[in-house]
Amino acid sequence: MTTETLGLRERKRLETRSQLESAAVRLALEVGLENATVDAICAAVPVSPRTFFNYFESKEDAILGVRDVPLDDASVAAIRAEHDGESLLSSVIALLMQALGPAIADTELHEARITLIKQHPNLLGRQIAQMTRMGEQLIAAASTLVAADPMFAGRETGEQQAIAEIILPLCGGAVRVAVKEWVAAGGDRHPDELRKRAVELARKAIEPLR
């Protein structure tokens, strides 16, 4: 199997995913979320439902463009480097923003997705489902960030993991609120502004508890 063949296959996968996302969004706008069934989305591409579920767990995930982003050592190291000198909250929130990926990215479907989320706020719940699916990856990645933070670097590994498991839900809640605000404002914020707002919210939640 050649590198060229692998490249063609990956391009085909990306093309199919993009077509499914576009069809899901278009149908949800045209016929309503309830009527935009997986079968209807597949017929519009066209692909089989089996192919659809190779890419997405649900039609809601296709509408949002939700996908699990691998959080390998290289990606965690990149987050550490990019946010070196910033707070642990900032690094963990950057991690969560990377995990959310296209669901909050500025894509060509951005405005249509914002319209649908405003009509159906429950769509944002798919972010929580995504974070649950990625739970072990997120804990491992957050533990690495905790271990690299000067405040926690000398702690036992088990304690660092416990801190990661405590801080993740806090940061996840901050991201969720920031995303809700972002949608209410029309979704015109840059993702970096969204991250900064989430950090601000997390800090506001922590400071009175000290």
**10-residue averages of pLDDT along the chain (210 residues):** 61 91 96 96 96 94 84 89 91 89 66 88 80 85 94 91 94 90 78 89 86
pLDDT of residue 102: 60
**What pLDDT shows up at residue 1?**
43
Q: State the pTM of this model.
A: 0.76
Q: Where are the alpha helices (DSSP H) in 38-156?
A: 38-44, 49-55, 59-64, 73-82, 88-100, 110-119, 125-133, 135-148
The Cα-based distances of 38 to 16, 120, 210 in angstroms read 14, 18, 49
pLDDT at 186: 76
pLDDT of 3 reads 45
- What domains can be seen in the chain, in order of their start residue? 3-64 (1.10.10), 73-209 (no CATH)
User: What's the pLDDT at 2?
Assistant: 44
For residue 66, give the amino acid letter. Answer: V
Identify the H or E element spanning 180.
helix 157-184
